[in-house]
Amino acid sequence: MPNVPEVTPVPTSQPFPTGEAEAENTLAGIGEFGLIGRLTQGRSPTRGTLLGPGDDAAVVAAPDGRVVACTDVLVAGVHFRLDWSGPEQIGRKAAAANLADVAAMGAVPTGLLVGLACPPDMPVETLSGLTDGLWAEAQSVGAGVIGGDVTSSPTLVVAVTALGDLEGREAVTRAGARPGDTVALAGRVGWAAAGWAVLARGFRSPVAVVSAHRVPEPPYASGPQAAAAGATAMIDVSDGLLADLGHVARASGVRIDVRTAALAVPARLVDVGAALGVDPMHWLLTGGEDHALAATFPGEPPEGWITIGTVAEGEPEVLVDGRVYDGGPGGWDHFAR
């Protein structure tokens, strides 16, 4: 790949249409309740939803007696770009970020609440596509969009709250890792970071790598599986493997050592790394947004998980092959400079 300048962001909305017919296709043209009607029409209730969109609040069954809940906020130009991803891809990504957090607690997702803030001149088709993506990702795990809110904003913002059911299991937190545990990984890491690097240089291929940035593929079922298998701690890898294992190390008061020999670098990432002058292992160790799951177990992990390290006594930290990682930051930090 040639070395080309980084592409510049584009506006997240289009110029306000001048024709009456075109205005009907914008949020300003159809209004708040017209938008809500279009986004909710024809959506069927999902498992556990007793009352869906349309009232002051939704009603969701909670047979376990406990509800797992998490929230993520995605901002245009920070978490996504409409010139890099289509609206449906952005919707799927927004849902996946939350559904993976529910799975990381050992729970099964039951529903999503969505807040949308967007410019009045945004085409209705953009919001419809985004909502289609949210629904599609939620329905992939048997959940749905059960309610939310819309408001105007100069920038497109998507706020998603996910709810989950532990189904009688104990929640798996970040704080339970013990010396002697093994560290294991389910799902892929490094792909989304490689995709971002490709897009940042103005390219749209390799398609598989770029698609990984646009729409992650979290191993949702692996969360409840790990909980049932006795996982002592677990986390969604959203900011980077080393950074997120660092949260586990600090919460549990342990030292974690990751073995790079256990992390197989996919051939496609080797090729992209060679083209961009990047060691692909750096993407595996520090790249976020693939939403893999990392967990600790008192013995061997269950099927589908690979052992990538160990837990030991010591100052809370994450080592790589027995040493402090010197390849740069261990992951993403929104407020770091």
**Which residue numbers belong to the known binding site for ATP?**
148-149, 174, 238
Beta strands in the chain (DSSP E): 49-51, 59-60, 68-75, 108-118, 145-152, 157-165, 182-186, 233-237, 255-258, 292-297, 306-312, 317-320, 323-324
CB atoms within 10 A of CB 56: 6
How large is the angle between the packed helices 267-276 and 207-214, nearest 10 degrees? 90
Which amino acid is located at 316 in the chain? Answer: P
Going by C-alpha positions, the residue among 218, 196, 182, 172 that lies closest to residue 286 is 196
The annotated binding site for substrate is made up of 79, 289, 332
Provide the pairing of β-strand 317-320 with 292-297: unpaired
Distances (CA, A) of 111 to 56, 71, 72, 115: 16, 12, 14, 14
| Tally of residues, the chain | 337
The annotated binding site for Mg(2+) is made up of 56, 71-72, 101, 149, 236, 239
How large is the angle between the packed helices 267-276 and 191-200, nearest 10 degrees? 30
CB atoms within 10 A of CB 262: 13
Going by C-alpha positions, the residue among 216, 198, 218 that lies closest to residue 207 is 198
The annotated binding site is made up of 56, 71-72, 79, 101, 148-149, 174, 236, 238-239, 289, 332
